Structure 1
């Protein structure tokens, strides 16, 4: 059940109950405007919203449970990569840029690749080539990602990155380019509103680095899977990602200790280039 179907169902149940919208909204502890937006699919209803509305209407516990679960399901949306490719991967960069313009805080966890906002052009190109894009689409998407990086210099935003040490060692580009990529991470880490941390391999871990995810404020999480991009907006589910990020952030190296680790790996790449 999507947002529109859920809203229509809630409206139908309210009409069937013969209760006026204002009375239902009052009992559900929300404004009539919010109720109207939910019923007309202009606003996503949380499971709590649905439970309050249905309690105000007076339906059974079984019906409440069914529709609350539908609300939780509709709070997670997945868009397959094949569909994004069809409409233009570069448009995904435009959408991300718009989201980043509106947010005040970004928290990004990445156990596999250098985060897109920190990537060099050579690294971006190497990553995008896995999508089998045309040269034109690749160039437009690369340009879009570089344009997004302007957000790094907006000191009104708090940008927090946690990556794992294997990210620094995973050979996406040749050694000299990897060294340049690591230099960029060190450079960006010196910005006052940017916090970059690295989880080192040497420490005992108490969590599993399942996959990458991005938290924008406390409202939305974006997850990249093999087949799709998943967007999570259910507050309870968003909270799970916040907790996971916080856990890795606490054990990660920061500041000069982090930069020392990154520079050591960079020097390894440079020595390899010299002897290769």
Structure 2
């Protein structure tokens, strides 16, 4: 642990992770009994849930700014999404459709859309890697009018060509041994953010983070990427366009 990080912890400017607590207790030589007690407390505190109603009070645009700050400090971002197009890949129209369900004023909605779009600039940063895994059902979930959904699919294809962005799709026809469950993002190997119906949960215990990392890699191995992934998206896009021609 660096001196600067230790200083921040001592002054209350940063919360220690489970690993930090372990290092500190080992360094000061506490008994096994005392160490076990403090480690149990650290692990209990390593999972923090914030209800969406509290995030709403904070403001969704401000929340986007907080996420942007965290992403700016992240070298490797891994994100699994079985429900929606990931925020970093969304078009303005898709963002509007997502947040329109949150009963925001038009001004609040515009600020939130702008804040999420500002986050997307990080995709063009050097020295960072982005890995996205999306289920095929997400691409077929029509939360937008057909032509707007076509625009969203085209954006996925375009972003997938960026050098540090890897987008993979789990097809509906691929045999699986695991279940999607819920979305989650892994920032380096430091934190996992899980979104549920009622709350956002942040996990910092290394043992729990490793479970999510293992799940991510398992899905990654069954997903299509590169040209095969783009061909799949193009096929879904063309299906939508053909439907429009026959209407």
Q: C-alpha separation between the residues in 1 aligned to 2:149 and 2:5?
A: 50
Cα contact 2:18–2:204 (8 A) shared by 1: no
Higher relative contact order (CA 8 A, sep 6+): 2
TM-score by length of 1: 0.82
Q: 2:167 matched to which residue of 1?
A: 196
Q: Could you tell which deviates more after superposition, 98-107 or 133-142?
A: 98-107
Q: Secondary structure, in 3 states, of the residue corresponding to 2:181?
A: coil
Output the aligned Cα RMSD: 2.1
Q: C-alpha separation between the residues in 2 aligned to 1:151 and 1:216?
A: 14
Q: C-alpha separation between the residues in 1 aligned to 2:224 and 2:7?
A: 48
Identify which of 101, 105, 108 aligns with 1:134.
105
Q: 1:270 matched to which residue of 2?
A: 241
Q: Secondary structure, in 3 states, of the residue corresponding to 2:173?
A: coil
1:177 aligns to 2:148 (yes or no): yes
Distance change (3 Å), C-alpha of 1:89 and 1:211: same
Q: C-alpha separation between the residues in 2 aligned to 1:31 and 1:194?
A: 31
Q: C-alpha separation between the residues in 2 aligned to 1:130 and 1:158?
A: 31
Q: Could you tell which deviates more after superposition, 138-147 or 229-238?
A: 229-238
Q: C-alpha displacement at 1:254, in angstroms? A: 0.4
1:103 aligns to 2:67 (yes or no): no
**Structure 1, unaligned stretches of length 5 or more?**
1-29
1:235 aligns to 2:183 (yes or no): no
Q: C-alpha displacement at 1:154, in angstroms? A: 1.8
Q: 2:35 matched to which residue of 1?
A: 64
**Structure 2, unaligned stretches of length 5 or more?**
none
Cα contact 1:48–1:68 (8 A) shared by 2: no
Q: 1:15 matched to which residue of 2?
A: none
Post-superposition CA distance 1:79-115 (Å, at most 9, x none): 2111111121100111111122222221111011001
Post-superposition CA distance 1:32-84 (Å, at most 9, x none): 87666545433433445445655666766444323211101222222211111
Q: C-alpha separation between the residues in 2 aligned to 1:231 and 1:115?
A: 17
Q: C-alpha displacement at 1:156, in angstroms? A: 2.7
Larger-Rg structure? 1
Q: Secondary structure, in 3 states, of the residue corresponding to 2:201?
A: strand
Q: C-alpha separation between the residues in 2 aligned to 1:57 and 1:93?
A: 39
Identify which of 198, 212, 215 aligns with 2:183.
212
Q: C-alpha separation between the residues in 1 aligned to 2:86 and 2:20?
A: 35
- Taking the TM superposition and a 5 Å limit, the aligned residue runs for 1:73-88 are 73-88=44-59
Q: 1:245 matched to which residue of 2?
A: 216
Distance change (3 Å), C-alpha of 1:112 and 1:54: same
1:222 aligns to 2:193 (yes or no): yes
Q: Secondary structure, in 3 states, of the residue corresponding to 2:83?
A: coil
